[in-house]
Chains A and B, each alone.
Chain A
Amino acid sequence: MKKAIVFKNVRKNFKQLKAVDGISMSIEQGEFFGLLGPNGAGKSTLINMMAGLVRPSHGSISVMGFDVNKDYQKARHSVGIVPQELVFDPFFNVREMLRFQAGYFGKDKSNDRWVDEVIERLDLADKASTNMRMLSGGMKRRALIAQALVHRPPVIVLDEPTAGVDVELRQRLWGFIKDLNKEGHTIVLTTHYLEEAETLCNRVAMMKSGKIVALNSTKNLLKEFSSKNLKVRLQKNKIQKIATLMKGDSLELEDDWCTFKLKKISDASRIIEKLNVLKIQILDMELIESDLENIFLKLTSKD
């Protein structure tokens, strides 16, 4: 089976700045792939190169086997991009804009039924004849997603699709994007909401300063970098002695809280027993498990 997207040693320099610095990776067909990274990590530049909006300084990118520069027309037929900014053409209404967009891809009137279906599925039917200027931010976001779908691309790239979207709409968009993935579309998602990536993506790449710092399945990444901590609140007069009493355990103190780093989960019961034996009363307790956000911070904050 063809890979959906292949990046081969892709670089992009803006004068002295290495926005993307030698990225090589591939995304399988049908994958739900997350591209994470702090602002300025190079995510949007990477996506813009894939979309043909920016030309790479070095390397190659192919979408569904078509090189985005040499075979750009076929490559662009294969991908639908939802841009991050809420851009729109102020002269037209939603339906007109979608039909024009489909027409640019060579779709004639026979595609209008699909356009209407996309409008229905994104709950835009009531606003189909409304000028884009008059839509709310959430509606504009939906219209942008619809625009990326009108030519039925196998690969859909969503650049921060839920930025500035309320919780309800976010959930609905998640549902819609999940359905697209189930229907066989390859989804590439960039997001700042790590919960979003954790919930939706099978695999994630984390970028920092134009490079990939982690690339794995979400499950493996959580496993590989997972850490469990036991956080206990103790009496103030005991907290100073704890480091001496619990020698051998890795711990951190903060006010009256003591955080034990667990090598394995059974360490938690051992520590609780030991505290009981030492007659140190536990006032409060929580078990903290690292999520994608912790991993993200760990990987993107280290030099």
Chain B
Amino acid sequence: MNTTRDQLIGTWTLLKKELLRFWRVAFQTVAAPVISGILYLLIFSQVLGDRLEVYEGVNYLVFLIPGLIMMSLLQNSFSNSSSSLIQAKVMGNIIFLLLTPLSYLQLFFAFLIAAIIRGMFVGICIYLIAIYYVDLPVKYPWFIFMFAFCGGGLMGAFGMIAGIWAHRFDQMAVFGNFVIMPLSMLSGVFYSIHSLPEVWQNISHFNPFFYMIDGFRYGFFGQSDTSPYLSLLIVVSFFIILSFITIRMLKSGYKLRN
């Protein structure tokens, strides 16, 4: 009863359910963010495409693509875990998970991996569409993967924290509108922070999204606004801290088992 095999089946079942959940509404969860990303690309390429060179030999359109991929990846990783939890709480069907022998670690890993997969899937879709039109270099694929994985994981864990904490959809919207959106828009997706006044450059260094975007972009161009190793250290640290908080919340049953 509840052997390692049982636990693996339990975790896999929850992961499969979470993947199916977003796949059933793929038009909303995959197609919509991909179209948004492509629209950003179309608009900015028409307006600024060849007129700006951000890094040496990197025009604005090419510069923009990794940032947009990463922004979509981060937002969708967050959406997956947060929306799953808040919906289950509001609908009441969270009970079906809480009644099971699934441990807090099983819950954590299943939600986390599902969030990373959805984020990466959306990111890959944008990448595949973009490279059809633009020649995008890939200098350090390992960096690309590490930032995608850790960034998706960080946002998946953050989504779990939001989903556990919130008990209404409007509370969840606060995270999306007042935290995720401004931090991602002001993270250097659309610009290099070197083009900002010094004070804003300094402020940008307090934005964890900046390091995720900048490090991810380094994997493509081999150029970045700050050291990619510092970015990786900061992203991994945030990932560990948020994972620790999430695991503590799940273990204590905070706002779940009360």
Contact = CB atoms under 8 A, between A and B. Distances in A.
Classify chain A's interface size: 20 to 34
A81 interface: yes
A101 B96 contact: yes
B7 interface: yes
Given A53-B257, A104-B14, A76 B101 contact: yes
A97 B2 CA distance: 20
Contacts of A100: 13-14, 16-17
Interface stretch (B50-58, B87-95, B160-168, B223-231): B87-95
Interface residues of B, number: 33
A106 interface: yes
Contact of B24 (A74, A91, A106, A108): A91
Contact of A104 (B1, B25, B100, B253): B100
Interface string B220-258: 000000000000000000000000000000000100011
A85 B102 CA distance: 22
A52 interface: yes
Interface in B73-109: 88, 91-93, 95-103
A90 B257 contact: no
A138 interface: no
Contacts of A54: 257-258
Given A54-B257, A76-B100, A87 B12 contact: no
Contacts of A53: 95, 98-99, 257
Given A54-B257, A73-B101, A106 B10 contact: yes
A89 interface: yes
A147 interface: yes
Interface string B55-81: 000000000000000000000000000
B9 A106 contact: yes
A76 B99 contact: yes
A88 to B, nearest CB: 6
Contacts of B13: 100, 103-104
A141 to B, nearest CB: 14
Nearest to B110: A104
A89 B93 contact: yes
Contacts of B101: 72-74, 76-77, 104-106
A235 to B, nearest CB: 59
B94 to A, nearest CB: 9
B257 A52 contact: yes
Contacts of A106: 2-3, 5-7, 9-10, 101
B20 interface: yes
A155 interface: no
A107 interface: yes
B257 A103 contact: no
Contacts of B253: 55
B139 interface: no
B20 A91 contact: yes
Nearest to B258: A54
Given A81-B99, A91-B24, A103-B13, 14 more contacts: A51-B98, A54-B257, A73-B103, A89-B88, A91-B20, A91-B21, A91-B25, A100-B13, A100-B14, A103-B10, A104-B13, A104-B96, A104-B97, A106-B2
Interface of A: 51-55, 72-74, 76-77, 81, 83, 85, 87-92, 96, 100-101, 103-108, 147
19 contacts: A51-B98, A54-B258, A72-B101, A73-B2, A73-B103, A74-B2, A76-B100, A83-B95, A87-B91, A87-B96, A88-B91, A89-B91, A91-B21, A100-B17, A103-B9, A103-B13, A105-B100, A106-B5, A106-B101
Interface of B: 1-3, 5-7, 9-10, 12-14, 16-17, 20-21, 24-25, 88, 91-93, 95-103, 253, 257-258
